[in-house]
Amino acid sequence: MASLSPTAPAPASARVLVASNRGPVSYEVRDDGTLSARRGGGGLVSGLSAIGPDADALWVCSALSDGDREAVRRGAGEDGVRMLAVPADVHADAYNGIANSVLWFVHHMLYQTPLEPSFDAEFRRQWARYEEYNAAFARALAEEAADGAAVLVQDYHLCLVPGMLRELRPDLRIGHFSHTPWAPVDYFRMLPDDISAQILRGMLGADRLGFLTRRWADAFERCAAELAGGLGDTRVGVHGLGADADFLRKRSHAPDVTDRMAALAAEIGEGRKAIVRVDRTELSKNIVRGLHAYAALLESRPEWRERVVHVAFAYPSRQDLAVYRDYTAEVQRVADSVNSRYGTPGWTPVVLHVKDDFARSLAAYRLADVALVNPIRDGMNLVAKEVPVVSDEGCALVLSREAGAYEELGEDAITVNPYDVTATAHALHEALTMPSDERAERTKRLAAAATALPPAQWFLEQLRALREAGPRDA
């Protein structure tokens, strides 16, 4: 990647730029005042490394924590990353207030509509901050991009950036990728008219828009047709991010994973089957109904008592938001109530872990008999794709038809309506009783479908399509 730091940016030299709220690195100030850096993974990281060190790539992201802001102040940034020191209060309004409490809710259809949403003066105040935050990204990208460079903007946090950037730099090739679903038009137009129009104008500033599935792309096109007079010059493409088989197979055989398998097997108990789920505790993941479905299974089919354990990993997410904290507490409460209702001295029906531990997640993937992936709505859901790749002996997948992954995996999964707890209990039974050779065969096919577009190719495919789109009419 290019050698650029926040204090001494090489002017307008980047040829490939990525923009996202969360960047590939985060900082903490240690007790002795020094900074420690933590690097993340994911599709964009693999994609950018795949284009090689000489590609003049730059990742523009936001400072998210005090440690990040301190790193920017000290000019301690990584090569190839420009972190924007967005003030903490502006970021909180844009990220917590608008991105996660409005746009995420709209695209995942999470509102309890008798009382919410209510777009009032406070919403307008936060929206102005969201515009400010998007404008900071557009300015930074405009400063850094070489003539005709390709810019790949990520997600609902930055949906105004393409339009803003086009105003500043009409020479650029601008792409935007949505990692979430897109709302159906009737839901999207809950937003105030001027705001929905502004979002669509922002998105349609891009040359190319990418979505994870045809379903989300169609929903966007419908919004554009009904509320913005069509797509104009913007093209729409579908890129179904897949699992990284090479990385997962290697990582899941590391010694820390093997250790955790032993610990987990002891928690599950000899001869018992394991129904595994692994999620960030987001409102869309449907963990609570999953627990109710498991309880319904134990109730309707008592033969499973003592013979199965539900291993649920519910990792913290967006804990600044009260509604997320409440949901996390509800997951814990329902898990406890299933355990006190059905547990026996030698059997804990639900094993719930809330501390993020990737090695333990991989251990659970390896030994799962059944994976439960039942979101009420999900852009893709990579857990559904990772489990079949890693599974030791084959794993039956119970999959929500509302997950993006359903488009590619639906045929070999046992699919469920995520709101139907009784049907989900039946699906769990069917999964638990699937003959082992069928389970192994299906897992093979699921793994092949899940790895059809690995992260590096996913990124390169978008980059190629953006460059091939050609310059648009001014």
Smaller CB separation from ligand F6P, 92 or 440: 92
From 15, 22, 251, 301, residue interacting with ligand F6P (rule: CB under 6 A): 22
Q: Which long-range contacts (CB under 8 A, 24 or more apart) does 72-78 make?
A: 72/6, 74/35, 75/5, 75/6, 75/7, 75/8, 76/27, 76/35, 77/4, 77/5, 77/6, 77/7, 78/24, 78/25, 78/37
CB of 20 to ligand F6P, least distance (A): 8
- Could you tell me the smallest distance in angstroms from the CB atom of residue 48 to ligand F6P? 15
Lookup: tokens for 38: 């933590």
Q: Which CB sits closer to ligand F6P, 201 or 280?
A: 280
180 binds ligand F6P (CB under 6 A): yes
Using Cβ positions, the residue closest to ligand F6P within the complex turns out to be 179
Nearer to ligand F6P, 68 or 412 (CB): 68
Asked if 379 interacts with ligand F6P (CB under 6 A), we say yes
Q: Closest approach of Cβ 103 to ligand F6P, in Å?
A: 10
Among 155, 207, 221, 402, binds ligand F6P (CB under 6 A): 155
Cβ closest to ligand F6P, residue 196 vs residue 284: 284
Please identify, using beta-carbon distances, which residue of 179 and 385 lies nearer to ligand F6P.
179
Among 289, 310, 318, 377, binds ligand F6P (CB under 6 A): 318
> Does 207 contact ligand F6P by CB under 6 A?
no
User: In the bound complex, what is the minimum distance in angstroms from residue 295's beta carbon to ligand F6P?
Assistant: 28
Contact 433, 216 (CB under 8 A): no
Identity of the residue, 318 or 439, whose beta carbon is nearer to ligand F6P in the bound complex: 318
Determine if 101 is a binding residue for ligand F6P (CB under 6 A). no
Comparison of 318 and 442: residue with beta carbon closer to ligand F6P: 318
136/296 with CB nearer ligand F6P:
136
Q: Does 179 bind ligand F6P (CB under 6 A)?
A: yes
Kindly determine how many residues on this chain lie close enough to bind ligand F6P according to the rule CB under 6 A.
8
Tell me the per-residue interface mask from 298 to 317 with ligand F6P, x by CB under 6 A, - otherwise: -------------------x
How many angstroms separate the CA atoms of 36 and 18, rounded? 23
Question: Smallest distance, Å, CB 144 to ligand F6P?
Answer: 22
Binding site for ligand F6P (CB under 6 A): 21-22, 155, 179-180, 317-318, 379
